[in-house]
């Protein structure tokens, strides 16, 4: 077991098992061949060939594309052919900073191999006995990563809300963080990866933040999604990461990014560049 294994678990997919999903010239996702065949049943929305799934060209604005895709997603979700409908829309953007082409329900995002964005907050306490990190345990009822170890605050980035505003909202829901405290979160970079998981193809960018909380602050979950929070010394976090896969796969990646950034490992480690390169999707 090693940190590098945790990093590698976030990468690797079989491109031959998928065909690209395109909107005009933009690739917006990757669809498994069996789902692609099924999408052929909706010729008013999808133009399916052996090479790709194309969104039909008449659908040429955000509202039309969103409505057409959503109608199909709802039918497929009811039929159990894609993930459970989550009632939360993700923006579909060819590149970060572009206007979204459309929105689609979060539950189907991995089925369509669409890039998802999220926010992850390293909750830190700096004290005389060293650096500690708040660790949460995900509820067994979570649709992904049930029972896994998690960040103080982490969540997907829905359509229609800024990244920092989303962080503030998630911080209140997941850990009962007062807004004034959550606003001290500092953006420190992003990790990205593409890998096959039970729920489908995860093609994610996670915006990473550090937040130093007061030593006497106690997070408290308010939405039932976290069983408990514990404050762990960094050496306990590092050992658990290296020796087990108890942390959710993408939480592990963000914490390893933190360890790289704060000098817990350095270039004299032969794995260093493989770990650093693994913080980002290989193009």
The overall longest dimension of the chain from CA atoms, in Å, is 64
Q: Residue 1 or 274: which CB sits closer to a second copy?
A: 274
Q: Which of 204, 224, 238, 196 is nearest to 120 (CA)?
A: 204
Instruction: Tell me the closest approach of the beta carbon of residue 261 to a second copy, in angstroms.
Output: 5
User: Is the CB of 66 or the CB of 157 nearer to a second copy?
Assistant: 157
* Residue 23 CB-half CA count within 13 A: 23
Beta carbon of residue 270, minimum distance to a second copy (angstroms, whole number): 3
Closest to 103 measured CA to CA, from 65, 61, 77, 73 = 65
Is residue 105 classed as helix, strand or coil in its secondary structure?
strand
Contacts with a second copy, residue ranges (CB under 8 A): 95-98, 119, 162-164, 186-190, 192, 205, 207, 260-263, 265-274, 276-277, 279-280, 282-283
Radius of gyration of the chain (CA): 20
Write phi, then psi, for 148 (nearest 5 degrees). -85, 160
Q: Which is nearer to a second copy, 45 or 153 (CB)?
A: 153
Shortest Cβ 1–a second copy spacing (Å): 18
What are the helix (H) ranges across 79-162? none
H or E element in which residue 30 lies: strand 26-32
**Minimum distance from residue 194 beta carbon to a second copy (Å):** 12
Residue 189 Cβ vs a second copy, minimum distance, rounded to whole Å: 5
Nearer to a second copy, 85 or 264 (CB): 264
Cβ proximity to a second copy: between 207 and 229 the closer is 207
């Amino acid at each position: 077991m090693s940190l590098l294994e945790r990093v590698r678990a976030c990468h690797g997919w079989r491109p031959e098992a998928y065909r690209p999903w395109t909107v005009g010239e933009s690739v917006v996702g990757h669809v498994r061949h069996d789902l692609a065949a099924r999408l052929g049943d909706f010729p008013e929305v999808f133009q399916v060939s052996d090479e790709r799934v194309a969104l039909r060209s008449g659908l040429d604005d955000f509202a039309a594309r969103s409505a057409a895709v959503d109608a199909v997603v709802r039918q497929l979700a009811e039929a159990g052919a894609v993930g459970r409908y989550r009632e939360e829309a993700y923006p579909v953007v060819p590149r970060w900073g572009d206007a979204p082409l459309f929105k689609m329900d979060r539950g189907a995002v991995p089925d369509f191999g669409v890039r998802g964005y999220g926010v992850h907050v390293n909750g830190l306490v700096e004290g005389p006995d060293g650096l500690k990190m708040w660790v949460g345990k995900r509820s067994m009822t979570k649709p992904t990563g049930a029972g896994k170890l998690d960040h103080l605050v982490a969540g997907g980035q829905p359509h229609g809300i800024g990244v920092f505003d989303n962080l503030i909202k998630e911080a209140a829901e997941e850990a009962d963080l007062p807004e004034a405290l959550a606003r001290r979160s500092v953006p420190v970079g992003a990790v990205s990866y593409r890998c096959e998981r039970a729920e489908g193809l995860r093609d994610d960018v996670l915006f990473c933040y550090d937040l130093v909380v007061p030593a006497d602050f106690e997070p408290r979950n308010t939405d039932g999604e976290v069983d408990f929070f514990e404050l762990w010394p960094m050496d306990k976090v590092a050992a658990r990461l290296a020796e087990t896969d108890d942390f959710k796969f993408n939480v592990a990646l963000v914490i390893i990014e933190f360890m790289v950034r704060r000098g817990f490992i350095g270039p004299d480690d032969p794995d260093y560049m493989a770990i650093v390169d693994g913080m980002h999707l290989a193009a």
